[in-house]
Amino acid sequence: MARIIGSIATSHTPTIGFAHDFKSKDDPVWGPIFAAYEPIKAWINEKKPDVFFVIYNDHITSFFFDHYSAFALGIGNDYAVADEGGGARDLPPLKGQAALAQHIGASLMAEEFDMSFFQNRALDHGCFSPLSMFAPRDNGAWTVPVIPLQVGVLQFPVPSALRCWKLGQALRRAIESYPEDLKVVIIATGGLSHQVHGERAGFNNTAWDMEFLDLFEKDPEKLTKLTHADYATRGGMEGSEVIMWLIMRGAMNARVKKLHQTHYLPSMTSIATAVYENAEDVTPSPEAIAAQRQQIGYQLAGAEKLEGTYPYTLQRSVKAHRINRFLHDLVYPAHREAFLADEDAEYEKAGLSPEERDLIRRRDWRGLIHYGAIFFVLEKLGAVTGVSNLHIYAAMRGQSLEDFQKTRNAPGALYSVAGKAAGQQSWDQPAKS
């Protein structure tokens, strides 16, 4: 079974990444930042974790207000460094731990946390700033895969401190119900006190930082009772992102051992680091693990017996992301015009595999579904290539259109999602008068 072997708390200010990339350990201003991470590196070296579960918030880099969500879990296989305006930092992409991430996602949903899920999205300084200081690398490449959890703390309403705490408790049950023996370290990022906007920009409160660190270790439930306004009053508006730490704390025992702690305020943000382990070993009973697994599978149990039915799961989503992306992008006029002009050139540009190209080229509607494409991108391909939805349904069933139409109440009905721009479809004859 997977288990949490300890946790790290760390600020994620860009200052840390800047220090890493441009400054030296011997510089009196920047040196304390490097020094703060030395014990963390040593601890990781000793513990040899298999996975980092990284809780962070994006700073309107890869997540924007066209679709903003509370808890977004990364379920993919890799995560590049985001360009935050001046070009991306010179760091390799992180590897994901997709299988455990997907299990955690399913477990949290089964406990009624309505998660959102992402893949193929770059991560910003919220994640990379601290990781660049302590995550192990070999020949430049990161050696420990990550599961990122992006928490939407920038557009109110945002999750409460209590909700973060409860999510952490559910996260522990999710990790501990994963069958593979994996050592997981939870990394909580953010804070401490700072404010970066408005006339109050530059606000800090070291006394509150110290009180927070103390409560976080010894009486974290007290922190779950504070409102966002309480956090903003004490630690600055942006400092209230520190509620993310409570996700990590909720996943730990009530009693923890603090192995390391630092606090340094060089400029705008109080940079804190800490390492915790559980004070005692609490392993869930085999019955509790079995019950959790049953709960995870409960909603879809039995669906596998439905003939010709393929629930669109996180696993399918990750496996078939590239082809779904390609077909989805037919919603953009430039892509569909290029596709109609030269399919092969578009396949090449998108890096589709030979199998994926073949499935689309042959309009193998059933094969596409088996491969992992979702129906709703097939109807886009149909709309672009002049094929009605009914043709696609019939083809998926392995029937002629005529035979399939006989099973409908209105056998003459043909339609697609094509708009006016697609022009007259060959199958769509004007109504006879």
Asked if residue 415 lies in contact with residue 389, where contact means CB atoms within 8 angstroms, the answer is yes
Residue type, 81: V
Shortest CB 299 distance to Fe ion, Å: 34
For CA atoms 18, 22, 28, 34, the dihedral sign is: positive
Q: Does position 241 bind Fe ion by CB under 5 A?
A: yes
Please work out the total of residues on this chain that contact Fe ion, with binding judged by CB under 5 A: 2
- The length of the chain, given as a count of residues: 433
Q: Which of 194, 197, 228, 391 is catalytic?
A: 194
Asked if residue 137 lies in contact with residue 91, where contact means CB atoms within 8 angstroms, the answer is no
Q: Indicate the residue among 186 and 395 with the shorter CB distance to Fe ion.
A: 186
CA distance 382 to 334: 17
Shortest CB 192 distance to Fe ion, Å: 11
Query: What is the footprint of Fe ion within residues 171-200 (CB under 5 A)?
Result: none
Asked if residue 30 lies in contact with residue 19, where contact means CB atoms within 8 angstroms, the answer is yes
Q: How far apart are the first and last CA of the chain?
A: 69
Query: What is the footprint of Fe ion within residues 255-284 (CB under 5 A)?
Result: none
125 is catalytic: yes
Shortest CB 186 distance to Fe ion, Å: 17
The CA distances from residue 231 to 321, 398, 412, in Å, are: 39, 60, 63
Q: Indicate the residue among 195 and 278 with the shorter CB distance to Fe ion.
A: 195
263 is catalytic: no
**Burial (CB count within 10 angstroms: exposed 0-12, middle 13-18, buried 19+), residue 363:** middle
Rg (CA), the chain: 25
Q: Indicate the residue among 127 and 381 with the shorter CB distance to Fe ion.
A: 127
Tokens for 7, please give them: 């946790």
By rule CB under 5 A, what string of x and - marks binding of each residue 42-81 to Fe ion?
Answer: ---------------x------------------------
Q: Coil, helix or strand for 142?
A: strand
Q: Does position 84 bind Fe ion by CB under 5 A?
A: no
Shortest CB 126 distance to Fe ion, Å: 5
Q: Which of 12, 59, 103, 125 is catalytic?
A: 125
Q: Does position 379 bind Fe ion by CB under 5 A?
A: no
CA distance 94 to 77: 9
The CA distances from residue 46 to 6, 136, 137, 337, in Å, are: 12, 12, 15, 56
Asked if residue 318 lies in contact with residue 98, where contact means CB atoms within 8 angstroms, the answer is yes
CA distance 336 to 340: 6
Q: Which residues bind Fe ion (CB under 5 A)?
A: 57, 241
Q: What amino acid positions are annotated as catalytic residues?
A: 125, 194
